[in-house]
Structure 1
Amino acid sequence: QLPEKIAQKKGIDVVVCIDEFQQIAEFKDSKAFQKRLRSVWQLQKSVSYCLFGSKKHLMNELFEKKSLPFYKFGDTVYLPKIGTEDWVDYICGRFEATGKHISAELAGKICRAVDNHSSYVQQLAWLVWIHTDETATEQDFEGAYQDIIDQNTPLFEKQTESLTAYQMNFLRAVLEGVHREFTTRAVLQKYKLGSSANVSIVKRALLKKELIEMEKRQVVIPDPVMEEWLRRELGL
Structure 2
Amino acid sequence: MRKPTNPFVLSGYHSPEYFCDREKELDWLIEQFNNERNTVLYAWRRTGKTALIKHFFYQLEKVKKAEGVFVDLLGTTDLADANKRIASEIVQRFGSLNTGIGTALMKLIGSVGATFGIDPLNGTPQITFGMVGPHSVPGSLEAIGKFLSERKKPVIICIDEFQQIVNYPEKHAEATFRTWVQAYPMVRFVFSGSHRHMMQSMFSEKSRPFYRSAQLLPLDTLPQPVYLNFITEHFEKAGKSIDPLHFNKIFDWTRMQTYYVQLVCNKLYGRTDHVDNGLLGEVFHEIIQQEVPLFSSYQQLFTHFQWKLLGALAKAETVENPLGQSFLQQYALGAASSVSTALKTLIKKEFIIQTGSNYTLHDTLLMRWLQQM
Alignment partners' CA distance in 1, 2:211 and 2:296: 35
Shift of 1:103: 3.4
Q: Deviations over 1:3-34 (max 9, x none)?
A: 56444553x5432222233344555x454444
What stretches of structure 2 of length at least 5 have no aligned partner? 1-141
Instruction: Work out whether residues 317 and 360 of structure 2, in 8 Å CA contact, stay in contact via their aligned partners in 1.
Output: no
**Is 2:288–2:365's contact at 8 Å kept on the other side of the alignment?**
yes
Larger relative CO (CA 8 A, sep 6+): 1 or 2? Answer: 2
d(CA) in 2 for partners of 1:58, 1:156: 25
The residue that corresponds to 2:181 in the other structure is 41
Partner of residue 143, structure 1: 282
Candidates 265, 284, 298, aligned match of 1:125: 265
> Are the structure 2 counterparts of residues 153 and 139 from structure 1 closer, same or farther at C-alpha, using a change threshold of 3 Å?
same
Q: Give yes or no for the alignment of 1:167 onto 2:309.
A: no
- CA RMSD across the alignment: 3.0
2:159 aligns with one of 4, 18, 31: 18
Alignment of 1:1-236 (within 5 A): 1=142, 2=144, 5-8=147-150, 10=152, 12-25=153-166, 29-60=169-200, 62-63=202-203, 69-70=209-210, 72-132=212-272, 134-174=273-313, 175-176=315-316, 179-184=319-324, 187-188=327-328, 191-233=331-373
Residue-by-residue CA offset, 1:169-215 (whole Å, 9 max, x unaligned): 32344333772444455655664545443332211101012121112
**Corresponding residue for 2:59?**
none
| Residues 189 and 135 of structure 1, relative CA distance in 2, 3 Å threshold | closer
Residue type at the aligned position of 1:14: V
| More deviation, 88-97/45-54 | 88-97
Provide closer, same or farther for how the CA distance between residues 161 and 124 of structure 1 changes in structure 2, counting only shifts above 3 A: farther
Q: Is the 2:321–2:357 Cα contact (8 Å) retained in structure 1? A: no
1:86 corresponds to which letter in structure 2?
V
In 2, the alpha carbon distance for the partners of 1:122 and 1:104 equals 17
1:71: how far off? 5.1
Cα distance, 1:231–1:102 mapped onto 2, change above 3 Å? same
Select between 93-102 and 142-151 the one with higher mean Cα deviation.
93-102
Contact 1:22 1:55 in 2 (8 A): yes
Letter in 2 for 1:144: V
Q: Are the aligned partners of 1:81 and 1:116 in contact in 2 as well (CA < 8 Å)?
A: yes
Aligned residues: 230
Deviation at 1:58, TM superposition (A): 4.8
The 1:95–1:185 alpha-carbon spacing in structure 2 relative to 1, beyond 3 Å, is: closer
Using the size of structure 1 for normalisation, the TM-score is: 0.79
Give, in whole Å, the separation in 2 of the partners of 1:184 and 1:113: 26
CA–CA distance in 1 between the matches of 2:224 and 2:148? 41
Rounded to whole Å, the distance in 1 between the matches of 2:186 and 2:326 is 58
Change (3 A) 1:3 1:125: farther
Q: Distance in 2 between matches of 1:130 and 1:77?
A: 35
> Structure 1 142/183 Cα, relative in aligned 2: closer, same or farther at 3 Å?
closer
Change (3 A) 1:65 1:161: farther
Structure 1 unaligned spans of 5+: none
State percent identity of aligned pairs: 27
Instruction: Read off the aligned partner of 1:130 and give its amino acid letter.
Output: G
Q: CA deviation at 1:114?
A: 0.4
Question: Taking structure 1 as reference, are residues 52 and 217 closer, same or farther at Cα in structure 2, changes over 3 Å only?
Answer: same
2:124 corresponds in structure 1 to none
Cα shift at 1:229 = 1.0
The AA in structure 2 aligned to 1:162 is L
How far off its partner does 1:115 sit? Answer: 1.0
SS at match of 2:285: helix
Between Structure 1 and Structure 2, the one with more strand by share is: 2
